[in-house]
Chains A and B, each alone.
Chain A
Amino acid sequence: MGEVLKVGIAELKVAKAPVNLSSAGLGSCVGICLYDPRARIGGLAHIMLPDSNQARNSVNKAKFADTAVPVLVSEMLKLGAVKERIIAKIAGGAQMFVFPGASDFMRIGERNVDATKKALAVEKIPLAAQDTGGNYGRTIELCTTTGKLYIRTIEHGERYI
């Protein structure tokens, strides 16, 4: 087992192979993984909200999809990544609770995924793979040596994307 950096809720971190990145217990939150395959540099942001403009306090850039992506990119560039090579893999965005007559508020997972895709498009980063939606939590680990994203769940199996 190599070294693994843990990325908590509303945090973001970058790492160079062989150090991996992981986020435990993604629910409606989205884990945004960026990866430069040549430099073997990865970045992981654990965002919990779609849009920093809707928030009164948006100091923490890692909390929002729209602000986390550019920060993650610039942190990776500092480590030596090249922007044109960066690809993205995303996981999470589930709807954990189902209420009758679910309002906009309850569709937060879906909104997080949409906002993440929009933020990636703005930065012109291709989305290589995604494992999103459903009603269950996910734990993810980005292998910075291979770029594979490992996903583990409690009752919905495990997989690599």
Chain B
Amino acid sequence: MKDFQSLTNFQLDALREMGNIGAGNAATALSELIGERVDMGVPHIDVRHFSEVPEIVGGSESFVASIYIKISGSAPGEILLLFPVEDAKQLLCILLKEHSILSRQTFDPLESSALMEVGNILAGSFLNALATITSLKYIPSVPGFCADMAGAILGAVLHDVGIMGDHVLYIKTDLHFQATKHVGGYLFFLPEAESLETILNTLGVSG
């Protein structure tokens, strides 16, 4: 595979379906953790130039909390979870039952650790679903946490796929919590170019 841009619609559909099942699994896991209903949107799959990616999450300078997990194994890649800061704070309120969280912009160690655990659960269940569908082995790293400008975070994550080309393939899912408040977030699944080929082969839609 030369570049992500050469993917056919049929292949994109197969990946979208895979993302759908993975994200469904992740939403169920999160729902069990917080004891509330979690809805997810239809996964969006796209190939974009690097410079366009920050716009997807509200611009380079938008303040977001992120959990980053590297995937090793037979199909290496990355998972990045992004929550706008207000949404991350709302989520922490639900998790920690502590309302003073909302009055601060920063994240203390307990809060960042709680969010990393959320990342762990979401990524783990997402990858479990992928492993079942593709019969490949995905090994998640320990999560990393960072709250900062979306562009800065994406740049730090995208450089790994940047060695291959100028475009990135991502599967993005919106997660919504059906509590009294609305909480939204994004799950990015970023396979490396060679992993993508491996995944497409196991799905039976190789080019």
**At the interface with chain A, which of B120-128, B132-140, B147-155?**
B147-155
Q: Chain A at the B interface: mostly helix, strand, loop or mixed?
A: loop
- Determine if B61 is an interface residue (Cβ-Cβ < 8 Å): yes
Which of these binds chain A: B89-97, B157-165, B198-206?
B157-165
A49–B156 touching, CB < 8 Å: no
In-complex Cβ contact of A139 among B61, B141, B158, B162 (8 A)? B61
Binary flags per residue of A7-32, CB closer than 8 Å to B gives 1, else 0? 01111000000000000111111000
Contact B155 A48 (CB under 8 A): yes
Q: How many residues of B contact A (CB 8 A)?
A: 34
The reply to whether B51 and A56 contact each other, CB–CB distance below 8 Å, is no
Choose among A27, A56, A63 the residue that contacts B151 (Cβ–Cβ < 8 A): A27
* A9 contact set on B, CB distance < 8 A: 50-51, 53-54, 151, 154-155, 158
Interface residues of B (CB under 8 A from A): 3, 50-54, 59-61, 63, 68, 106, 141-142, 144-146, 148-156, 158-160, 162-166
Cβ contacts A to B, 29 pairs, < 8 Å: A8-B52, A9-B151, A9-B158, A11-B51, A24-B54, A24-B61, A24-B149, A25-B60, A25-B149, A25-B151, A26-B151, A27-B148, A27-B149, A27-B154, A29-B152, A29-B155, A48-B50, A48-B158, A49-B159, A49-B162, A55-B163, A60-B166, A63-B50, A94-B156, A96-B146, A96-B148, A136-B152, A139-B60, A154-B148
